[in-house]
Amino acid sequence: TDYDIDQAANLVECISEELYPKEKMLLLDEVKNAKQLSQSRNVLQNGDFESATLGWTTSDNITIQEDDPIFKGHYLHMSGAREIDGTIFPTYIFQKIDESKLKPYTRYLVRGFVGSSKDVELVVSRYG
């Protein structure tokens, strides 16, 4: 998963450049290749949020951050639902994938990393 690749990248960053410069460079190249392979297999547009929320439809209270010491790269920060004048407005993000990008009789895997949540839902729908 991208999370595992990011964890490997964090470990490689800890390797001393003075003692193991060639090895570190080779490992960083392997991490880069793994990340590119993972992204090429992903049918989501901008699945790693490197381009903010490009390709995604979101509620107003969503931000993209990249300051987490454990999770390398960009990640989605979703605050909880808001209540305004007795009406609850949920926090959401979704992306519609064109059916032409999907292959018949193929299983797809949905993966993600949730740092914390009170109530999170994942909905996958073919129509509607």
User: In terms of C-beta density within 10 A (0-12 exposed, 13-18 middle, 19 or more buried), how is residue 36 classed?
Assistant: exposed
Query: Hey, what are 38's tokens?
Result: 């993972």
Range of the domain at 113: 46-128
Q: Are residues 67 and 34 in the same domain?
A: no
Same domain for 25 and 65, yes or no, is no
Question: 50 and 99: one domain?
Answer: yes
From CA 125, how far away is CA 10, in angstroms rounded? 35
pLDDT score of 128: 59
Profile the chain (128 residues) by mean pLDDT over runs of 10 residues.
Answer: 84 94 95 87 82 86 83 80 87 87 85 72 76
Residue 77 confidence (pLDDT): 84
Instruction: Check whether residue 66 and residue 126 sit in a common domain.
Output: yes
SS3 76: strand
Tell me, yes or no, whether 35 and 60 share the same domain. Answer: no
- Both 31 and 90 in a single domain? no
Cα angle 97, 99, 104 (rounded to 5 degrees) comes to 125
Beta-bridge mates of residue 77: 63
Q: What is the pLDDT of residue 122?
A: 80
One domain for residues 21 and 59: no
Q: What is the pLDDT of residue 78?
A: 84
* One domain, residues 94 and 58: yes
Domain identity same for 37 and 90: no
Q: What tokens appear for 86 in the block?
A: 């007795």
Torsion over CA: 88, 47, 63, 116 (sign): positive
- Quote the pTM value: 0.62
